[in-house]
């Protein structure tokens, strides 16, 4: 229920900021930390999943994260809760309906002396279920309970259950019902959302108001596997020798500021490619034309997100799997800046092995180091966490509205985590907001132009709270 959604702003000490300390000229700073807790989303679903958990369970909303204009953001949970054992033949997945959440989030100047500069006000505004007007394949043996999906009124819902596929076709068959949302971005007109997934991988376009799929983009065949299975072991080597690694498909998705090009990035190297070389795929939104490039990992085990700085530079979230939720100490959660403009596209879909000739350029040092910032002592501008308290799955990046603080304009980078629906183990849905100077982003940052964003819910009480002296720089108009 909505009343179960709670906000807790975490005041972390930052000595000297409100006393007049200057913002560093060339350094990202931690502006604030917020979270959304609670156990239920706003889907209106009732009943339970096969594993006994509620169909409206809230969690995992940092798998994908996107700015939608103003104080509105979109968040995607992944395929649903699969930490509760019930059937290992489907990797413990359930008929959790794929969805996205709309969030209202703002920064408010923090009046508390010695605290972080801003409070992060966050509220869950709505939950939208994803469906297709075309019939979907829910599998044969071990079919998900489609009655539980409530496929009525011409709505065929996408599901996280791993056996919802047509075994006679490859993983790029868009009529499969299984869908594992990861990256998400909002269209230029604000009326639809693009979502990438790991099962296909797929990139689908959904109507933002209704959740209906309105377009499926055809991705390069090199990304798909031929033999499908309901478990990781049934899809990886030696069963398949080419295509995406199971559960490591198109983890990140960006959209250029003009809304004309989608840029997806795989989490891990394809089965046929060399270790440490991850593919990037660009998609022309109007024509569907695709190009492929390669990204070389520095110190992370994979990639979880990509967000546009301008039409050719991007910030890539490279990370390990360690930290809160894994029971280990986090080491790598870094944002590297890349430039695809000078890279040579991979010439054809049969290319495999060494992709060194097709690598995009990459800055040698990280632009944002989440672990370093969160483990820095409170009196030095950090969060004072231990490495074991940093979420293992930092997976969502979104640039929000600029802020003016201490006379300087900062670009805000909102960073979210995926808690795998187990808040007791991996913590709540957290939102870390960093401020970056233009120079940190190469001096050529261009905000996304969303020309007609969907109006924010009128019930958003935070809009009337005031900004306590904070000057917010809108995309093309400044107000204080």
Q: Is residue 20 part of a domain?
A: no
Share of the chain above pLDDT 90, in %: 82
Q: Can you tell me the distance from the alpha carbon of 207 to that of 474, in angstroms, rounded to the nearest whole number?
A: 26
**pTM for this entry:** 0.90
pLDDT tens-digit readout, 165-198: 999 999 999 999 999 999 999 999 999 999 999 9
Q: What pLDDT shows up at residue 232?
A: 96
Between 459 and 434, the more confident residue is: 434
The partner residues of 433 in beta bridges, in order of sequence, read: 32, 414
Beta strand segments in 289-357, E: 290-296, 302-308, 313-319, 333-339
Would you say residue 25 lies in a domain?
no
Inside any domain, residue 336: yes
In a domain, 1, yes or no: no
What's the average model confidence in pLDDT over 420-448?
96
pLDDT at 86: 95
Check residue 249 and report its DSSP letter.
Answer: S
**Phi and psi for 261 in degrees, rounded to 5?**
-135, 130
Give the range of the structural domain holding residue 337, as residue numbers without chain letter.
Answer: 30-468
Residue 105 pLDDT greater than 70, yes or no: yes
Residue 154 in this model has a pLDDT that exceeds 50 = yes
Read off the pLDDT of residues 346-357 as tens digits, 9 standing for 90 and up.
Answer: 999 999 999 999
How high is the mean pLDDT of the chain? 89
Domain tally, the chain: 1
> Distance (Å, rounded) from C-alpha 326 to C-alpha 304?
16
Q: How confident is the model at residue 454 (pLDDT cuts 50, 70, 90)?
A: low
Residue 141 has a pLDDT of 56
Residue 48: DSSP 8-state: B
pLDDT band at 399 (very low <50, low <70, confident <90, very high): very high
pLDDT tens column, 215-247: 999 999 999 999 999 999 999 999 999 999 999
Mean pLDDT over 93-101 rounds to: 97
CB atoms within 10 A of CB 342: 8
Predicted local confidence at residue 142, as pLDDT: 60
For range 82-103, the mean pLDDT: 96
Q: Is residue 144 part of a domain?
A: yes
Q: What is the 3-state secondary structure (H, E, C) of 127-193?
A: EEECEECCCCECCCCCCCCHHHHCCCCCCEECECCCCCCCCCCCCCCCCECECCEEEEEECCCCCEE
Phi and psi dihedrals of 133, rounded to 5? -75, -25
Q: Is residue 27's pLDDT more than 50?
A: yes
Q: For residue 238, is the peptide bond before it cis, meaning its omega torsion is within 30 degrees of 0? A: yes
pLDDT for the residue numbered 12 = 31
Mean pLDDT score, 99-127:
93
Asked whether residue 183 is domain-assigned, the answer is yes
Strands 29-36 and 213-216: unpaired
**442-450: average pLDDT:** 95
On whether residue 396 sits in a domain, the answer given is yes
Residue 409 has pLDDT above 90, yes or no: yes
Tell me, yes or no, whether 21 lies in a domain. no
What pLDDT, on a 0 to 100 scale, did the predictor assign at position 460? 35
Bridge partners (DSSP) of residue 434 are 30, 413
Residue 1 predicted with pLDDT over 70: no
Check pLDDT > 50 for residue 267.
yes
């Amino acid at each position: 229920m909505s009343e179960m959604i709670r906000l807790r702003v975490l005041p972390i000490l930052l000595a000297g900021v409100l006393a007049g300390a200057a913002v560093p000229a060339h350094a990202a700073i931690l502006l604030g930390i917020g979270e959304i807790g609670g156990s239920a989303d706003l889907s209106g679903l009732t009943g339970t999943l096969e594993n006994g958990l509620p169909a409206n369970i809230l969690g995992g909303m940092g798998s994908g994260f996107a700015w939608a204009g103003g104080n509105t953001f979109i968040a995607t949970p992944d395929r649903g809760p699969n930490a509760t054992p019930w059937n290992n033949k489907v990797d413990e997945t359930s008929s959790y309906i794929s969805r996205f959440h709309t969030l209202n989030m703002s920064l408010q100047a923090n009046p508390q002396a010695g605290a972080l500069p801003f409070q992060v006000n966050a509220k869950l505004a709505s939950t939208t279920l994803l469906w297709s007007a075309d019939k979907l394949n829910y599998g044969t043996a071990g079919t998900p309970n489609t009655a539980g999906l409530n496929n009525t009124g011409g709505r065929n819902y996408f599901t996280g259950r791993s056996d919802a596929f047509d075994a006679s076709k490859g993983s790029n068959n868009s009529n499969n019902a299984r869908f594992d949302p990861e990256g998400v971005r909002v269209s230029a007109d604000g009326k639809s959302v693009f979502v990438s997934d790991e099962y296909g991988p797929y990139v689908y376009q959904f109507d933002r108001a209704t959740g209906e799929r309105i377009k499926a983009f055809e991705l390069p065949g090199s990304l798909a596997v031929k033999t499908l299975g309901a478990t990781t072991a049934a899809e990886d080597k030696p069963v398949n020798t080419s295509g995406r690694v199971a559960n490591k498909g198109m983890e990140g998705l960006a959209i250029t500021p003009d809304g004309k090009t989608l840029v997806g990035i795989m989490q891990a190297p394809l089965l046929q490619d060399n270790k440490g070389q991850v593919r990037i795929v660009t998609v022309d939104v109007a024509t569907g034309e695709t190009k492929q490039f390669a990204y070389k990992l520095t110190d992370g085990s994979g990639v979880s997100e990509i967000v546009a700085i301008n039409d050719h530079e991007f910030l890539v979230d490279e990370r390990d799997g360690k930290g809160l939720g894994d029971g280990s100490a986090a080491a790598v959660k870094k944002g590297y800046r890349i430039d695809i403009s000078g890279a040579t596209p991979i010439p054809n879909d049969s290319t495999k092995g060494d992709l060194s000739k097709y690598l995009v350029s990459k800055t040698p040092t990280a632009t944002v180091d989440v672990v370093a910032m969160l483990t820095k002592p409170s009196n030095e501008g950090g969060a004072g966490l231990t490495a074991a308290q940093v979420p293992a799955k930092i997976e969502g990046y979104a640039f929000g509205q600029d802020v003016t603080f201490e006379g300087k304009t900062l670009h805000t980078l909102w960073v979210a985590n995926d808690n795998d629906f187990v808040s007791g183990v991996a913590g709540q849905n957290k939102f870390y907001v960093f401020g970056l100077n233009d120079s940190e982003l190469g001096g050529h940052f261009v905000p996304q132009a969303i020309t007609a964003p969907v109006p924010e819910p009128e019930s958003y009480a935070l809009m009337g709270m005031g900004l306590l002296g904070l000057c917010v720089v809108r995309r093309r108009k400044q107000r204080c």
